[in-house]
Amino acid sequence: MEPIDLAHEDWQLATHHYQQGDIPGAEKLCREILSELPAHVGAMHLLGVICGRTGRLAEAVQTLQRAAQLEPSSSDILTHMSFALAQSGAHARALTGFIKVREINPASVDAIAMIGSLSLQLGRYGEAAEALSEAADLRPRTAEMQMLKGHAMLRIGRLQDAESSLRRALELKPGLVEASALLSECLVSARKYDEAEQLCREHLAEDPRFCAQLIRLYEATGSHESAMKAARENVESASPTGVAIRLVARAEAQTGDLIGATQLIQTSLPRLAHDTIDMAGAMFDLAHLQFRAGNHAAALTTATQARSALAPQGKPKFARSKHYLRMLERLAPWPPQSDMPQWCAKASSDAESCSAIVGVMGARSEILVNALRRSASLPLTDGHSTLIGLGGEIPGHRLGSDAYPAMIAALDDHTAAEVRRSYLAQIRDESGTRCIDTHEHNIEHLPALARVIPGFRAVVVVRDPFDALAEAMLEATVPDESALVLTSIADMAAGILGQFRILENTMRIPGLSLLIVDADRLAASPESEFSRTIEFLTGAPPDSAAVKDAANLVRESQQSRLPAGAAAHFTSEFAPIRALLESIDIDRIGTR
């Protein structure tokens, strides 16, 4: 009998041993076959499966990759290889493998489910939600599939869909603690506090995540003493959560015990290693404490490490990196005013030619952004200008925090060229204008942008601060009697004051051109305000047709969301806050 025939018989026997549970016998036969016929794909495939099943993941991956190279169209081999990669922690490579499996076999539910699950782990939540929704429809009675779908929906903010899927998972498998933990997070986010509290208390001893959500709930409802009590108890437990550690550390810092707060976070970091987001958040707090203690070098190092820890987690996690940006603004030196011309010239020579870099920021700035974008007669639509809408939404171009890490990387080296290549990406709309929108962030970016982009021009649209606050409170949908109302108003007031202080500080930055536009005047007299804006941006009196065109676009875009009498209601109810906000002198900030 020929060796190949003997090998085939041995492989069939090895398969029989494997199916009967004789794993050692099956492995022995596979290795004997491969010693005679090293390219026997069947034996190689089965050996890889056995190695994966017995925990030898490195050998499993290596063996299955060889089999896949010999038979690249086999969805079974690719599936087992991708599972082995996923088990070994190579999630990105595993995802690529399962995508190939689906290309070969579009009906593979396992591939669809794993694409969703791995996308979820990699922070690619939109892709995860799409794949897991399809998988859950194909396997409607699988609790774990419903749970994963709910998790993905929660991460993209579709709370109603998330709640529905998580409840379905618990109907199918009532003891699924993971689904209960995610449901508690969903209920807190949806402000269903009573039900969330009951659920957390029922499972408090089972998983530290229930404690984390209970603390979030207490904080949201103004029960700070209860939050602190729960946090202190959790910090002393064997499985502390990041939210508890950070809350206790902040409380100690507020009493002046910076050393105690710092030590608490430092000693707790190893216990948070299982959750990158918790650990990075704690590290940002540690950097802040180090900065307050005067240890600036350590603060910058810690913040950089936290940012690096977030890097593999994908877009949604980068919102937290704003703490890192603030740390850089505090610690990194500005170029001396005397050196600014030389610094700008060097940066400009390294960068792409650009006639105007314009930032439009602030309350309802999308009105101005979209009018500029759509006005074909303006110089800004010549294809050589970049329009940045911070706070305004440009249809079809919502980069958000995708572009943010590139800007931070540029800040590290003060490299304006990197900003132009990465942050100001070559995205063009129909008019040819490069349009960037970072909708999630606000005017706190102004100092950083002015610093790294020579000749940066900024237009900031401001509103009556109290009207903006009243509108925000009406949209917050919190109970009128809740202590959260007063707490939130105080927080929002502080935020608005902080934004105006940013404007005041920004005006002192060398090389920055800044224009303040009043939102109320823009709404009432768009021709006048647009004429002023265009002249500021282009350096020349605007063409009357361009002004008229832009003004009409502004009128089309206007939308008043503040109900009549709302501002008056808030004025009477919260007079002290009104007085605080009226102390902001917009005219004193002025125009430059």
Asked whether residue 208 is assigned to any structural domain, the reply reads no
CATH number of the domain residue 301 falls in: 1.25.40.10
Q: How far apart are CA 427 and CA 410, in angstroms?
A: 19
Q: Show which of 331, 365, 399 is a domain's final residue.
A: 331
Q: Show which of 202, 237, 259 is a domain's final residue.
A: 202
At residue 236, the pLDDT reads 79
Both 517 and 486 in a single domain?
Answer: yes
Both 13 and 152 in a single domain?
Answer: yes
Both 237 and 301 in a single domain?
Answer: yes
Both 231 and 196 in a single domain?
Answer: no
Q: Which of 579, 572, 585 is nearest to 493 (CA)?
A: 579
Residues ≥6 apart with Cβ < 8 Å to 411: 325, 328, 332, 448, 451, 452
Lowest-pLDDT range, 66-80, 241-255, 309-323, 455-469? 309-323
Both 270 and 396 in a single domain?
Answer: no
At residue 132, the pLDDT reads 93
Contact yes or no for 204/214 (Cβ under 8 A):
yes
Q: Could you give the number of structural domains in the chain?
A: 3
Going 440 to 445 to 446 to 450, the CA torsion angle's sign is negative
At residue 164, the pLDDT reads 93
Asked whether residue 338 is assigned to any structural domain, the reply reads no
The long-range contacts involving 141-144, CB below 8 angstroms and separated by at least 24 positions, are 141/172, 142/172, 143/168, 143/169, 143/170, 143/172, 143/173, 143/176, 143/179, 144/169, 144/173, 144/176
Q: What is the CA radius of gyration of the chain?
A: 29
Both 29 and 153 in a single domain?
Answer: yes
Asked whether residue 213 is assigned to any structural domain, the reply reads no
Q: How far apart are CA 369 and CA 554, in angstroms?
A: 9
Q: What is the pLDDT of residues 434-443, one digit of tens each?
A: 433 333 334 5
Asked whether residue 300 is assigned to any structural domain, the reply reads yes
Contact yes or no for 457/537 (Cβ under 8 A):
yes
- Tell me which residue range forms the domain holding 562: 353-589
At residue 41, the pLDDT reads 87
Both 497 and 575 in a single domain?
Answer: yes
Asked whether residue 212 is assigned to any structural domain, the reply reads no
How large a percentage of the chain has pLDDT more than 70? 52
Lowest-pLDDT range, 10-14, 309-313, 529-533? 309-313
Lowest-pLDDT range, 66-70, 130-134, 160-164, 485-489? 485-489
CATH number of the domain residue 574 falls in: 3.40.50
Both 134 and 240 in a single domain?
Answer: no
Both 387 and 517 in a single domain?
Answer: yes
Q: What is the pLDDT of residues 460-484, one digit of tens each?
A: 666 554 455 444 444 433 333 333 3
pLDDT at residue 416 above 70? Answer: no
Average pLDDT score over residue span 149-154: 90
pLDDT at residue 87 above 60? Answer: yes
Q: What is the pLDDT of residues 110-138, one digit of tens each?
A: 999 999 999 888 777 778 888 999 999 99
Both 502 and 393 in a single domain?
Answer: yes
Asked whether residue 311 is assigned to any structural domain, the reply reads yes
Q: Which of 364, 436, 368, 365 is nearest to 406 (CA)?
A: 436
Q: Give the pTM.
A: 0.52
At residue 121, the pLDDT reads 83
Both 498 and 559 in a single domain?
Answer: yes
Task: Give me the helices (H) in 20-158, please.
Answer: 23-36, 41-53, 57-70, 75-87, 91-104, 109-121, 125-138, 143-155
Lowest-pLDDT range, 44-48, 327-331, 419-423, 568-572? 419-423
At residue 172, the pLDDT reads 94
Both 172 and 229 in a single domain?
Answer: no
Q: How far apart are the first and last CA of the chain?
A: 93
Asked whether residue 209 is assigned to any structural domain, the reply reads no
Asked whether residue 126 is assigned to any structural domain, the reply reads yes
Q: How far apart are CA 211 and CA 204, in angstroms?
A: 6
Q: What is the pLDDT of residues 199-255, one digit of tens each?
A: 888 888 778 788 888 888 887 777 878 888 888 888 877 777 777 887 788 778 767
